[in-house]
A = this chain, B = another copy of it.
Amino acid sequence: MRATVIHGPRDIRFEDAPDPTIEAPTDAIVKVVASCICGSDLWPYRGDDELDGPRTIGHECLGVVEEVGADVRGFAAGDFVVVPFDHCDNTCAACRNGAHSACDNVAITQSGQGEYARVTQADGTLVKTDGVPDRDLWPSLLTLSDVMATGWHAAVAAGVRAGGTAVVVGDGAVGLCGVLAASQLGAETIIAMSRHEPRQELARRFGATHVVAERGKEGVAAVKDVLGGVGADAVLECVGNAPAFDQAFRVARPGATVGFVGVPHGAEVPLRVMFSKNIGLAGGMAPVRRYLPELLDLVLARTIDPGRVFDLTLPLEQVAEGYRAMDERTAIKVYLEP
């Protein structure tokens, strides 16, 4: 097949790669009909994550089942499926407790930005639609494979509740989906911390009641100004680096929870602050499968439209251009069509 391969920092090529095959009887092969680039793909792209050599990349995709292993019961060739980036059996103790991302059999999609992808634990991982959904829904459906589920997880982990207040740190696609999640979960005041005008606009469209462009101390002051002098009930940390963690804990009120979903890169936890202010920290890699049925209903009913995070569409073969656009922040998120 043709697939996206990362050879090194800023070296993304769309080229020939081995076809994925059924390796275990619980596997499925999915023909990718839409995929995209994740903020976390930028870590190796920027050289912040080590590479052991060239490898296929891409873990977010939507597709049609091409082939299933002998033990797969719930899916057959032709099914239109959302592919959670983190595969799970949906039966182990971790899954039963809602921690599907720590499933005993967890695996990650390896060639989502390719023509085909192997999905392990297909019966546990995949969720299918009735027939092929309207084409205009595909971008929103694609977000359910990671970014929208991840934003949702940030909101759930942060304990967003109806009538409460929330601050979202990070205006990438995850942060914007976090705004949408907080809104859907009923938060009354939602502050998006963003300095970029197009992202601010989308945040407002997704339900942000306020936008704070300042950062650091000024950002804290601006947030407290909105919230009557205190921090927020719930803080969604949607970046994963040290400045974002610092910002998140500083805009949390005593007794609040910081929900974190960004892959930690150099972030430190201010344990003494957590102790003295009773601020909790929860979240982690999103258990996509846990939220998928509920989010799928919301998308199919056109109640939420997270697909709006895509502001650039490219043919898959131009994937390298998509990485450049996201790296330079000229695009929020790039939709790739085979």
Contacts and interface: CB of A to CB of B under 8 A. Distances in A.
A303 B230 CA distance: 38
Interface stretch (A187-195, A270-278, A311-319): A270-278
Contacts of A263: 275
A49 to B, nearest CB: 13
Interface stretch (A20-28, A95-103, A320-328): A95-103
Residue with the highest number of chain B CB atoms closer than 10 Å, among A94, A98, A287? A94
Contact of A284 (B233, B276, B287): B276
Contact of A278 (B228, B272, B279, B283): B283
B93 A277 contact: no
A281 B280 contact: yes
Contact of A271 (B94, B233, B269, B280): B269
Contact of A285 (B98, B268, B276): B276
Interface stretch (A7-15, A30-38, A115-123, A252-260): A252-260
A281 B282 contact: yes
A229 interface: yes
A153 to B, nearest CB: 9
A285 to B, nearest CB: 6
A202 interface: no
Given A97-B233, A102-B255, A254-B97, A282 B280 contact: yes
A285 B280 contact: no
Interface in A75-125: 93-94, 97-99, 101-102
A267 interface: yes
Interface residues of A, number: 38
A254 B157 contact: no
A21 to B, nearest CB: 28
Contacts of A285: 275-276, 278
Contacts of A54: none
A278 B101 contact: yes
A178 to B, nearest CB: 16
Given A269-B269, A269-B271, A271-B264, A277 B99 contact: yes
Contacts of A283: 275, 278, 280
A99 B255 CA distance: 5
A57 to B, nearest CB: 20
A5 B143 CA distance: 62
Contacts of A230: 93-94
A157 B284 contact: no
Interface of A: 93-94, 97-99, 101-102, 157, 228-230, 233, 253-257, 260, 263-264, 267-269, 271-272, 274-285, 287
10 contacts: A93-B228, A97-B233, A97-B256, A99-B253, A101-B254, A257-B280, A264-B271, A268-B271, A280-B282, A280-B283
Please list the 7 inter-chain residue pairs (A to B) with the smallest Cβ-Cβ separation, ordered nearest first: A99-B255, A280-B282, A102-B254, A99-B254, A94-B254, A269-B269, A278-B284
